[in-house]
Amino acid sequence: MQPTRLFELTTHLSGILRDLEAAGIHVEVGDDFAKFRAYRSLQTDRGPIYPMFDVASSYIDSANGFWICGFDASGELIHTQAARLLDLSGISLASHLSSHRHKYITPDTTPDPDLTFYSGPEALQKITGKVCYQGEFWLRARGLGGPRSQGMTTLLSRVLFEIMVGAWNPSFVFALVPKQLAAKGAHLRYGYCHCEPGRWLGPDQQVTEEDYLIWMGASDIVNMLARSPQRLQRAASVSGAHSAATSVDANGLLDAKAHA
C-alpha cells in the first residue's frame, strides 16, 4: 500500500470509529471464523450463517476473509458483516455462482438447491479476476432512533471497504440483496453504484427468491473511497457513550484494535 493511501485509510477509519464510539458501538474486527460462527449461533432471531462464511462448510481464514461485529454498551451483538476474497481468474462470476450456488442460496427457499440457479444480471459475465464478496450484513433496527436511521449502515460498510481494499485491492466487489431492500436503495447505503435485478430459478423454472446483484469495479471503488465518509446524523448529539475498537487475530488475541 502506498504511503498516501495508508494515511487516507488511517484518517478515514479513525474518523469513522470516533463517530461509532460516540454512538456507543464497540467495533471488533477479526479473521477467526470459528469465533464469528459462535457469535452468529447466539442470534436465535436470525437465520443460520451463510455457508460462505461458515468454517463448517467453507475453508476461510485470514488469507481470504475477515469479519466485523458491532456491540452496544451492554455487550449485545447489534451488527455483523464479512468479506471473502475469491480468485476468479479465468472464470466469470456467473460460472462461480453456478458451481457454488449452495453457498449463496438462502436456506429453505427452494425445494431442490441442486437444481436452482441464479440468473439475470449482465454483470455476472464481466466480473472476474480478484473479486471480493460482502455478506452477512445485518444491523439491528430499533425504531426511528435506531442505528439504521443514524446512518450507521453506510459507515459500517465503509469500514469493511477500507480494510478490504487495503488488504486485497480487488478488481470487483459484489453482494446480493433481497429485492425489497434493493427497492429501498440498500446498495446506495452500502456504498455500491451498480444494482441489477436477479433471481434464483428452481427446478421447474419457478422464482424461488429475488436477489439483486450490487457491485463495483476497481474504478468505482477508488471513486467511492475518495469521498469523505458520511457522518452519523445523530453523532454530535449522542454523548457520554463509550466504545473501544479491538482487533482479534485467529488465535483470539487482542492487538489494540460484510446475507448482504
Each residue's pLDDT tens digit in the chain (260 positions)? 777 777 787 888 888 988 898 888 999 999 999 999 999 999 988 989 999 999 999 999 999 999 999 999 999 999 999 999 999 999 999 999 999 999 999 988 999 999 999 999 999 999 999 999 999 999 987 643 455 546 789 999 999 999 999 999 999 999 999 999 999 999 999 999 999 999 999 999 999 999 999 999 999 999 999 888 877 655 444 333 334 455 544 443 333 324 55
Q: Report the predicted TM-score, pTM, of the whole model to 2 decimal places.
A: 0.86
Specify burial of residue 33 (Cβ count, 10 A radius: 0-12, 13-18, 19+): buried
HEC-encoded secondary structure of the chain: CCHHHHHHHHHHHHHHHHHHHHCCCEEEEECCHHHHHHHHHCCCCCCCCCHHHCCCCCCCCCCCEEEEEEECCCCCEEEEEEEEEEEEEEEEHHHHHHHCHHHCCCCCCCCCHHHCEEECCHHHHCCEEEEEEEEEEEECCECECCCCCCCHHHHHHHHHHHHHHHHHCCCEEEEEEEHHHHHCCHHHHHCCCEEECCEEECCCCCEEECEEEEEEEHHHHHHHHHCCCCCCCCHHHCCCCCCCCEEECCCCCECCCCCC
Give the per-residue pLDDT at 233.
Answer: 55
Query: Which three three-digit cell numbers place residue 256?
Result: 489494540
List the domains of the chain with CATH numbers: 3-248 (3.40.630.30)
Return the bridge partners of 142, or none. 144
